[in-house]
Amino acid sequence: MGAAMQTRHIGSVEVSAVGLGCNNFGGRLDEARSRAVIEAALDAGITFFDTADVYGGSRSEEILGRALAGRRSQVVIATKFGNRLDDERQGASPAYVKRALEDSLRRLGTDYVDLYQLHRPDPATPIAETLGALGEVVEQGKAREVGCSNFSVQQLREAEAAVRPGAARFVSVQNEYSLLHREPEEGVLAECVRQQMAFIPYFPLRSGLLSGKYRRGQAPPAGSRVAGMPSERQRELLSDETFAKVEALERWAQKHGHSLLELAIGWLLAKEPVASVIAGATTPEQVRANAKAAGWVLSDEEVAEVDAI
């Protein structure tokens, strides 16, 4: 295990301030390249690995489990359920909660997950029923804490109101949040503070736009996430308006002796309910850069200056 990194809490679970998003494993990355990324993460002091049953056609969990075998007690594994795997396997009914977790534990080669997250709200199942089933798996020691993902303020309040004796309580919410995607500021962050929940941002680099690898007027690098998108989506992401913001942010970061990437992650870590910034990576170099970025947490004045940009 490598360098010490600052840690924060998601409920009772202690996590590194930067986590590794495992959505590329088994999809864009084969097992060998996935392992290289996981090893680099461990060496850089990252202890928090965030996957899901749907990533890489369920292969992400298997690859992660094999790579972490023998080191289970040194790492924190978060996974998710509820997105559609097939007609049978989807949603958040009590019976499926238990089945999905057993399947994830088998793929991960472990007998518990540290954080078990509902990947998206399930309109077909009352949240109280889902929380009841999650309470049982926590009771059995199969999940240490439970969280949700892609929830609105209203959905977080419904979940809070549905907690009964024996039911679990969501300790975290994982939503998209970055310098270029500010939606959580419209209420979800404040709700997290009110409920004392941890907020876990995903896509902190806005599909790589904040890593500095895309330049105005240049085609996206081959193999990059944006290069694989339909041209309409590319135009929307790589608009002049976006580049104007990215370039202004990059100038500000450089003036402070940091990279754009370090700003993107450091800014998120300065936001009160943020526990760990989940960043995906396809190479060991990217992991090291993401981990290093945790070293810069902005002051209130700096955050205000950045928000003004």
Q: Which of 257, 218, 255 is nearest to 234 (CA)?
A: 218
The secondary structure of residue 274, as a DSSP letter, is B
Q: Of 55, 177, 202, 214, which one is the catalytic site residue? A: 55
Buried b (16+ CB within 10 A) or exposed e, 142-167: bbbbbbbbbbbbebbeebbebbeeeb
Spatial separation of the C-alpha atoms in residues 93 and 78, rounded to whole Å: 20
Q: Compute the distance between CA of residue 61 and CA of residue 250 in angstroms, rounded to an integer.
A: 35
Question: If we measure between CA atoms, which residue out of 210, 138, 214 comes closest to residue 171?
Answer: 138
- Residue 298's φ and ψ, nearest 5 degrees, are -75, 150
Whether 116 is catalytic: no
CA distance 136 to 20: 28
Q: Please say whether the beta carbons of 17 and 294 come within 8 A.
A: yes
Please report how the helices 240-255 and 260-269 are oriented relative to each other, as an axis angle in degrees rounded to 10: 80
Q: What is the CA radius of gyration of the chain?
A: 19
Handedness of CA 113, 119, 123, 124 (dihedral sign): negative
Active-site positions read 55
